[in-house]
């Protein structure tokens, strides 16, 4: 039996249980369904780490738990990032801008140089730690911190230029 077939069997047997567990953490059925799918994808990638004598169900639920907690953290980081944009100086993030002009927000991010874009995505949107970001980008911890500081400055500047931030 291949790894894919094994994961498919696990999916058939445990997908509903995993989805319900994630939903109990997030209290959002649709996000729970998405994260349940991600759980089984990650299980397929990490299947070689499962010991032969290990019980599969706790292993799957640990993956699901970690994914759900990571999701909660990413949401919190994203909210903190937006709150930081709102509270800095006299600049205020207009509440309707993100909802109505999501593409404009993304376009402002796209205008940044590659390293700034990468560090903002990893640290602020995906919620990676400084060390994790450094590993992903092959940067030192100090380079991640410095680049994030500069990227945040230039991103705010870009948002102002693109009229995504209003001055009160």
Tokens of 80: 């903190």
Along the chain (168 residues), what's the average pLDDT of each consecutive run of 10 residues?
88 94 91 94 89 84 92 75 54 44 70 89 82 89 93 85 58
Q: Where are the domains of the chain?
A: 3-73, 91-167
Q: Supply the pLDDT for residue 139.
A: 92
Is pTM, for the whole model, over 0.85? no
Chain CA centroid to CA 112, Å:
20
Q: Which CATH number fits domain 3-73: 1.10.1740.10, 3.40.50.300, 3.20.20.60, 1.25.10.10?
A: 1.10.1740.10
Q: Check: CATH 1.10.10.10 for 91-167?
A: yes
């Amino acid at each position: 039996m291949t790894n894919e077939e094994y994961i498919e069997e696990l999916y058939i047997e445990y997908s509903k249980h995993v989805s319900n567990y994630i939903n109990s953490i997030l209290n959002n059925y649709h996000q729970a369904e998405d994260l349940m799918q991600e759980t089984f994808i990650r299980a397929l990638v990490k299947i070689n780490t499962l010991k032969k004598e290990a019980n599969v169900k706790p292993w799957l639920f640990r993956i699901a738990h970690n994914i759900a907690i990571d999701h909660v953290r990413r949401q919190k980081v994203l909210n903190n990032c937006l709150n930081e944009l709102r509270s800095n100086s006299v600049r205020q993030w207009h509440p309707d801008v993100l909802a109505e002009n999501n593409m404009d927000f993304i376009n402002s991010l796209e205008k940044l140089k590659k390293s700034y874009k990468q560090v903002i995505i990893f640290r602020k949107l995906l919620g990676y730690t400084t060390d994790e970001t450094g590993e992903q980008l092959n940067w030192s911890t100090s380079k991640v911190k410095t680049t994030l500081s500069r990227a945040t400055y230039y991103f705010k500047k870009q948002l102002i230029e693109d009229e995504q931030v209003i001055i009160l």
